[in-house]
Amino acid sequence: MQNALILPILITFLISGCASTKQLEIFTKEVERMPLNLELPPVETLEQVNLIIITSDNQEEVFAKLKEQNIDPVLFAYTDEDWELVTKNNVRMRNTIIRLRAIIEAYKEYYEPEEQEGKQNSIIKSSDFEPKTFEKDKD
Amino acid sequence: MFSQIKLVFFFIMLMGAGGGLWYVQHLKSENEILTLNNAKLEGAVAEQQALIEQQLRDIETQQSINKQLTENNVKLTADLELANEKFNKVNASGERRDIGNLAVSKPKSIEKIERKREQQRARCFEIAQGSPLTEEELNATKKSQINAECTNIANPNYIPY
């Protein structure tokens, strides 16, 4: 009778001593931003502008021609010095457009290369690969 | 008394067997964990290697982009210098070209030239915005064929002579 009581108690202790609770593992995964993929604006075609050279000698002829063509006899003019500056300003503006465009394209090429499109959008961080530690190692 | 000793021995043996079993199980689980850790460490090494390769590729791309932008800037500066030179060109007799004087003496021809230049300037703006170069622009090798306003970007195959 005594044995019949002791035996199950000992077996219960033996089995429960082997049981352990598993530790929860929390993974952190970085998700990449979706590429913006903005298209550059279409090419703007500029209007053709007619230049008129007017001097003290040809002014009457120029105005007569304007009247003949039913154009208001008025001119918005530059001096030769200012015309030089306007031309240079045009070159500067054009250069700025080219520079900015080149920078935008370089950023796009660097951050949104086409080969990235098919790639999975999650990166497993190196911390996911940290080796597990045993309970006894913690002590 | 004898049966009690037998019972104690029986329990000692049972506990010994249980302990042995537990120890084997423990070794097995440790072994499994070590195998898993090993696989993960191998994975981590591969990942780090891939990261280093990616960084090297990034550095290469950065250098190539910087080189490209610098070359581009040199061309653009040359275009601005060209515009400056056009108005301040010194002729064979040592006189500075004065577009004002030229326009006074030959208004019609300067008007014609400037109208053509205006068309070329408009085309330069289109190219600056990304318009592809035409066959004519690409094949231009003579002075009469080029876009004098932005030769560097409009006529890449033109070599000044």
Is A116's pLDDT higher than 50? Answer: no
**Chain A interface, best mutation among B29, B124, B149, by max A CB count within 10 A:** B124
The closest of B18, B17, B29, B34 to A20, measured between CA atoms, is: B29
Chain B residue closest in CA terms to A41: B129
pLDDT in tens, B10-63: 999 999 999 999 999 999 999 999 999 999 999 999 999 999 999 999 999 999
Q: Name the band, by pLDDT with cuts 50, 70 and 90, for residue A11.
A: confident
Q: Is the pLDDT of residue A36 over 50?
A: yes
pLDDT, averaged across chain A: 78
A16 CB within 8 Å of a chain B CB: no
CA distances from A8 to A5, A11, A15, A55, B87 (A): 6, 5, 11, 122, 110
Hey, where are the domains in chain B?
Answer: 1-66, 87-161
In this complex, the residue of B111, B114, B124 whose CB is nearest that of residue A94 is B124
pLDDT for the residue numbered A20: 60
Put simply, whether B109 touches A (Cβ < 8 Å) is: no
Q: Do B111 and A40 touch (CB under 8 A)?
A: no
Nearest by Cα to B110 from A83, A92, A17, A93:
A83
* pLDDT grade for A119, boundaries at 50, 70 and 90: very low
Please check the confidence at residue A127 and state whether its pLDDT lies above 70.
no
Q: Could you report the per-residue pLDDT of B60-117, keeping only the tens digit for each?
A: 999 999 999 999 898 888 888 888 887 777 777 777 778 888 899 999 999 999 999 9
Question: Of A87, A97, A126, which has the smallest distance from its Cβ to B44's Cβ?
Answer: A126
Quickly tell me which residue has 């289109």 as its tokens: B126
pLDDT at residue B15, rounded to an integer: 93
Give residues 33 to 72 of B whose Cβ lies within 8 Å of A.
33, 36-37, 40-41, 43-44, 47-48, 51, 58, 61-62, 65, 68-69, 72
Residue A126 has pLDDT above 80, yes or no: no
- Closest to A44 (Cβ–Cβ): which among B25, B41, B129? B129
Q: What is the pTM of this model?
A: 0.68
- pLDDT at residue number A1: 61
**pLDDT given at position B138:** 94
- Using CA atoms, how far residue B108 sits from A78, A111, B91, B115, in Å, is 17, 53, 21, 11
Please tell me the least confidently modeled range out of A84-98, A120-134, B23-37.
A120-134
Which residues from A are below 8 Å from B33, CB to CB? 132, 134
How many of the other CB atoms lie within 10 Å of CB of A114? Answer: 9
pLDDT at A100 over 50: yes
Average pLDDT along chain B: 90
Q: For residues B115 and B133, what is the distance between their CA atoms, to the nearest angstrom?
A: 21
